[in-house]
A and B are shown apart, each in its own frame.
Chain A
């Protein structure tokens, strides 16, 4: 659907893309982006990339904790609980 039929330039579509992915756009803006994506291959690429970047960030959320830091923090929890 092309919403109200209004076309937007790539710059505008790109500005809205992450919010589009987040489903944070108003229905009007959403259909503007949909309308743009229907004919713009470049922005479809942008959209795909935004998805990849999003997934990439999520995959970086948990990383290794050094064993000594972990051991110290576990001791710390022990102390908090014993202390009372």
Chain B
């Protein structure tokens, strides 16, 4: 999928290529305005205004990028952990700047940046040659967090047992639980449930067949539930946070 790569190749190879990065966003109906994202005429018009030569476009990039820093950083932290997050955002911003001419609808900018971030991360994973370990989830498959909470009953006097369980998890705890998941499960989960990507968009971003994405989402959710429970047990989260 032609999100610009590290060398910004897709931006160079398709200087008027409206159909690359924006493809990812096409199904995000709520962000679309008319046909501006795919219309070739818009493409040609925008392509005449290069971000590198046009101060107005530069300002537009700067405005979008600055405004999106917190969201990008939040996603990057979930992908990489705090240590590598800043660097990930930097590379994302560099790629985004090189490819900015391919973005035609400014209101699509936030999702476009998130897609680039996911791609930067995926490229890094590839380089690291992380063993793509499909986790055997037979034991996890039958796990039900709902039941585990109901049976263990960590808040005996509560009427909202399950909500109490969730609210015992702070942001750092959620981050820690996510970090326990193998990347192939973590990424789809974050994109789907934290950033509201559709499964089709995730398939495009990760260059994986839709069926694979659905299967990984399924396992990822199960693993996440399972890891929430083991994390709570291991860290005495419920004992210390109980009201």
Contacts of A60 in B (CB 8 A): 171, 174, 194
Supposing A24-B214, A57-B193, A65-B73 touch, asked if A72 and B86 sit within 8 A by C-beta, the answer is yes
Q: Chain A, 33-70, contact with B by CB distance < 8 Å: what is the 0/1 string?
A: 00000000010011011101110111011111100011
Q: Roughly how many angstroms separate A19 CA and B78 CA in the complex, as a whole number?
A: 23
A8 is an interface residue with CB less than 8 A from chain B: no
Q: Would you call B62 and A76 a contact (CB within 8 A)?
A: no
Q: Would you call B93 and A49 a contact (CB within 8 A)?
A: no
Supposing A62-B71, A63-B77 touch, asked if A73 and B93 sit within 8 A by C-beta, the answer is yes
Q: Which of A52, A58, A73, A81 contacts B89 (CB 8 A)?
A: A73
Q: How many A-B contacts at CB < 8 Å in the complex?
A: 92
A11 is an interface residue with CB less than 8 A from chain B: yes
B19 is an interface residue with CB less than 8 A from chain A: no
Q: Which residue of A lies closest to B98 (CB)?
A: A80
Q: Chain B, 85-126, contact with A by CB distance < 8 Å: what is the 0/1 string?
A: 110011001100100000000000000000000000000000
Q: Which of A53, A73, A81 contacts B225 (CB 8 A)?
A: A53
Q: Would you call A53 and B218 a contact (CB within 8 A)?
A: no
Smallest CB–CB gap between A6 and chain B, Å? 21
Chain B interface residue count, CB cutoff 8 Å, equals: 45
Q: Would you call A77 and B144 a contact (CB within 8 A)?
A: no
CB under 8 Å from chain A, chain B span 149-182: 149-150, 162-163, 166, 169, 171, 174
Q: Which of B71, B86, B144, B193 contacts A14 (CB 8 A)?
A: B144
B133 is an interface residue with CB less than 8 A from chain A: no
Q: Which of B75, B90, B166 contacts A53 (CB 8 A)?
A: B166
Q: Would you call A80 and B94 a contact (CB within 8 A)?
A: yes
Smallest CB–CB gap between B1 and chain A, Å? 21
Smallest CB–CB gap between B54 and chain A, Å? 11
Supposing A24-B199, A46-B144 touch, asked if A57 and B194 sit within 8 A by C-beta, the answer is yes
Q: Which residue of A lies closest to B57 (CB)?
A: A81
Q: Which of B62, B90, B162 contacts A52 (CB 8 A)?
A: B162
Supposing A24-B199, A63-B74, A76-B93 touch, asked if A45 and B69 sit within 8 A by C-beta, the answer is no
Q: Roughly how many angstroms separate A49 CA and B160 CA in the complex, as a whole number?
A: 11
Contacts of B97 in A (CB 8 A): 80-81
CB under 8 Å from chain B, chain A span 1-34: 11, 14-15, 18-19, 22, 24
Q: Would you call A54 and B193 a contact (CB within 8 A)?
A: yes
**Given A49-B162, A62-B71, A77-B69, 5 new contacts (CB under 8 A):** A18-B217, A42-B147, A52-B162, A53-B145, A65-B69
Show 9 residue pairs from A and B whose CB-CB distance is below 8 angstroms, ordered by the A residue. A11-B142, A22-B199, A57-B194, A61-B75, A63-B77, A77-B65, A77-B66, A80-B97, A81-B62
Interchain residue pairs A-B with the least CB separation, the first 7? A61-B194, A57-B193, A49-B146, A65-B73, A84-B52, A46-B146, A56-B166
Residue positions of A touching B, CB distance < 8 A? 11, 14-15, 18-19, 22, 24, 42, 45-46, 48-50, 52-54, 56-58, 60-65, 69-70, 72-74, 76-78, 80-81, 84
